[in-house]
Structure 1
Amino acid sequence: MLDDVLALIREHDRFFITTHLGPDGDAVGSQLALGRFLEKMGKSVAMVNADEVDYNLDWMPGAGDIAVFDGSLGQHEALAEAEVAFVLDTNDEERIGKVGSLVRDATATTVLVDHHLEPEHWFDVFFVREEAAATGELVYEIIDGLAPDLIDEGIATALYTAIMTDTGSFRYSSVTPALHRSVADILERGGIGPAPIHETIYDRKSMPGLRLLGRMLNRIRLRYNGQLGYSVVTQRMVEDTGASWDDKQGFVNYVLSIEDVKTALLFSETDDGAKISFRSEADVRVDQWARHFGGGGHRNAAGAYVKRPTFEKTIETVIDAASDYIAFDARHAPDDDLSPEDQSYLETLLDDPSDSP
């Protein structure tokens, strides 16, 4: 628990920090905040991830210090020499990518700092609280337990980014008065304001990204008499607009914002299925639904990677399972079958004339 983590930091000098594939704001923010804090304590720190930092987060102070794993001798030595290895914001080896097996087999004491369900058991020390709004909240507690006066502008920016992005800008049910008090302390100690961070993350859009957003919005469909909304991002849509897969960050929230929609999904096409983002209103949980398809996450924000014979079949299978996990109102009873319009829509997803450049 927390006391064990604090003791490890006090007693050791060489640290290694990593996080999950496709690191989001909570992952990168937590990693940078903890890394910079340890350095300010006079510790040696190596930060290595399997994937690079997305463009909408690469502005963060210290982001350039996070190395992408390349199998180099220096990176192997950094882990071999580390006394403590932190894994942040994910709790299983596979989600750490190529770094996962190296951390698991390392001689360093492995520490999990996370807020997801059902962690694997190979970690030596667990600082896990499922009720925490973000891993960044737990990292703040580590810093607060050791030397909160070391919080500077960079650490505060990283912590605020971590917490803000993983709480849907503080609108999820995991947000508590205590969290707001912690965030106030972060802002005050770092001397920062929230507006520039929010604007940089959410309001910095490329033209290709906006074109992709337009096509995604045009493909929104509603099911269960309007209480479930979903849309898609296909490989062809990305190619034709000149966008990148990073540009779809936050797209699912547009679907959730539709009046009467209480759960929303975004299906992103892969070669053998789909990556799915699940979102919901505060009193509706989607994590169990995602877990049924091999994914996981939080009550209101989860994800899954589903392999099916076709992209269309993936969409149909996941949506048909919705009523097993979402309590739709009686007046919004589930439709028995896909409407003819929706069936036609699924069949033409990969060959839509409107996708032409």
Structure 2
Amino acid sequence: MLDDVLALIRENDQFFITTHLGPDGDALGSQLALGRFLRKIDKSVAIVNSDEVGCNFDWMPGIGEIEVFDSSLSQHEALAEADVAFVLDTNDEERLGKVGSLVREATATTVLIDHHLKPEGWFDVPFVRDTAAATGELIYEIIEEIDPDLIDEEIATTLYTAIMTDTGSFRYSSVTPRLHRIVADVLERGGIEPAPIHETIYDRKSMPGLRLLGRTLNRIRLRYNGQLGYSVVTQRMVEDTGASWDDKQGFVNYVLSIEGVEVALLFSETSDGSKISFRSEADVRVDEWARHFGGGGHRNAAGAYVKRPTFEKVIEDVVDAASDYIHFESRHAPDEELSPEDQAYLQTLLDGASDSG
């Protein structure tokens, strides 16, 4: 698989790169790292996505080179002229948005570089390893094989961003000693410091974003004896606080941080359903649960987009299905999920949230 990708890079000159809707740090970092590397070895590269870059990642070096698909002639020509089309960090056509059908029907050799399970079968060359911590790890392997000395400050920054964000800041079970050695090599070759990258992504909060976080925390509910926690972000909440949808980045991790919670969900209301973020502790899997609802992802981090008659119905169906995929311990009597004190405190929070609209 890797050898096939290396041969395609060495033997061709025109490349097209795309990734999934709502691109995250791994998707964007992998795109930018691969794109800059290819240009440094004198290749022609076009990077086109169906969605815009979120504000948490608009600082990344080279971000201006990513075009948002607008069906322009130049974008169609870039794909038509490409020898190779790379699809990064997603393995199905629908997740590519408007670009998906164009890439699938293109004459270019389609190369999948990904670490998710169960890829679709239309890719010509799959470079897939579901044990990889991030797509950025696979991009590093490509660069390492061709010329690791080309890892400069920009490539190092984007690779580090890709790996760090997709491992929950290196706390997921996919993190290995080998991955830490890769990261060390990236940091050394690029001469970069990790702290400013982490701070820019996770610690840069707007005042409206903090208001939205407060309302989200007030809506946390616990189920299954306090081992599952979930909260919601509604369209009304976003409008009332003046926040953007990008501001909810990382909110689900606050739910997971609650003592005793092993599985956390964040439901984000859309016009016709809900986007759901699934997170879990190291030895608890959520990917199969997300896949049951048409989504997918990794062992400890997954997502799904679910259409139901109402937002409330989405929440009910997903939470009720949890016990089919997660083994919850019986920590209290069956009819007592929380202690009376905890129940009273939680109800106070929920009443306050209702009063605030």
Which TM-score tier does this pair reach, normalised by the shorter chain?
A: over 0.9
Find 2:356's aligned residue among 348, 354, 357.
354
Partner of 1:256: 256
User: Percent of aligned positions with the same letter in both sequences?
Assistant: 83
Query: Could you list the per-position Cα deviations for residues 249-268 of structure 1 after superposition, in whole angstroms to 9, with x for gaps in the alignment?
Result: 10000000000100000000
Query: Residue type of the partner of 2:119?
Result: P
- Alpha-carbon contact 1:135-1:162 (below 8 Å) kept: yes
Secondary structure (helix, strand or coil) at the match of 1:15 reads strand
Distance 1:274 1:285 in 2: 21
Change (3 A) 1:279 1:254: same
Query: Could you list the per-position Cα deviations for residues 14-54 of structure 1 after superposition, in whole angstroms to 9, with x for gaps in the alignment?
Result: 10000000000000000000000000000000000000111
Distance 1:309 1:336 in 2: 30
Query: Could you list the per-position Cα deviations for residues 259-292 of structure 1 after superposition, in whole angstroms to 9, with x for gaps in the alignment?
Result: 0100000000112221110000000000011111
Secondary structure (helix, strand or coil) at the match of 1:141 reads helix
Aligned pair 1:40/2:40, yes or no? yes
Partner of 1:6: 6
Aligned pair 1:199/2:199, yes or no? yes
Aligned pair 1:71/2:79, yes or no? no
Distance 2:101 2:305 in 1: 21
Change (3 A) 1:34 1:335: farther
- Alpha-carbon contact 2:225-2:336 (below 8 Å) kept: no
Partner of 1:322: 322
Change (3 A) 1:322 1:114: same
Q: CA deviation at 1:334?
A: 6.6
Q: CA deviation at 1:157?
A: 0.3
- Alpha-carbon contact 2:223-2:337 (below 8 Å) kept: no
Query: Could you list the per-position Cα deviations for residues 110-152 of structure 1 after superposition, in whole angstroms to 9, with x for gaps in the alignment?
Result: 0000000110011100100000000000000000010100000
Partner of 1:223: 223
Secondary structure (helix, strand or coil) at the match of 1:225 reads coil
Q: CA deviation at 1:317?
A: 1.1
Query: Could you list the per-position Cα deviations for residues 201-247 of structure 1 after superposition, in whole angstroms to 9, with x for gaps in the alignment?
Result: 00111000000000000111111111100000000000000001110
Any unmatched runs of 5+ in structure 2? none
Distance 2:136 2:59 in 1: 18
Change (3 A) 1:336 1:88: farther
Question: Could you state the TM-score of these two structures normalised by the residue count of structure 1?
Answer: 0.95
Change (3 A) 1:28 1:46: same
Distance 2:209 2:40 in 1: 38
- Alpha-carbon contact 1:228-1:262 (below 8 Å) kept: yes
Q: CA deviation at 1:330?
A: 2.9
- State how 1:277-288 maps to structure 2 within 5 Å: 277-288=277-288
Partner of 1:163: 163
Query: Residue type of the partner of 1:171?
Result: R
Secondary structure (helix, strand or coil) at the match of 2:116 reads coil
Change (3 A) 1:130 1:257: same
Secondary structure (helix, strand or coil) at the match of 2:21 reads coil
**Runs (4+) off by over 2 Å:** 330-338
Query: Residue type of the partner of 2:83?
Result: E
Instruction: Give aligned pairs, total.
Output: 350
Question: Could you state the TM-score of these two structures normalised by the residue count of structure 2?
Answer: 0.95
Which is worse superposed, 236-245 or 314-323? Answer: 314-323
Distance 2:23 2:335 in 1: 37
Aligned pair 1:301/2:301, yes or no? yes
Q: CA deviation at 1:331?
A: 2.5
Distance 2:113 2:15 in 1: 14
Distance 1:90 1:334 in 2: 40
Partner of 1:113: 113
Q: CA deviation at 1:353?
A: 3.5
Secondary structure (helix, strand or coil) at the match of 1:330 reads coil
Distance 1:182 1:163 in 2: 10
Distance 2:103 2:332 in 1: 48
Distance 1:71 1:272 in 2: 26
Query: Residue type of the partner of 2:190?
Result: G
Change (3 A) 1:224 1:332: farther
Distance 2:114 2:20 in 1: 11
Q: CA deviation at 1:306?
A: 1.1
- Alpha-carbon contact 2:226-2:337 (below 8 Å) kept: no
- Alpha-carbon contact 1:277-1:304 (below 8 Å) kept: yes
- State how 1:75-224 maps to structure 2 within 5 Å: 75-224=75-224
Secondary structure (helix, strand or coil) at the match of 1:127 reads strand
Q: CA deviation at 1:333?
A: 7.3
What do you get for the CA RMSD once the two structures are aligned? Answer: 2.0
Distance 1:335 1:112 in 2: 48
Query: Could you list the per-position Cα deviations for residues 149-172 of structure 1 after superposition, in whole angstroms to 9, with x for gaps in the alignment?
Result: 000000000000000000000000
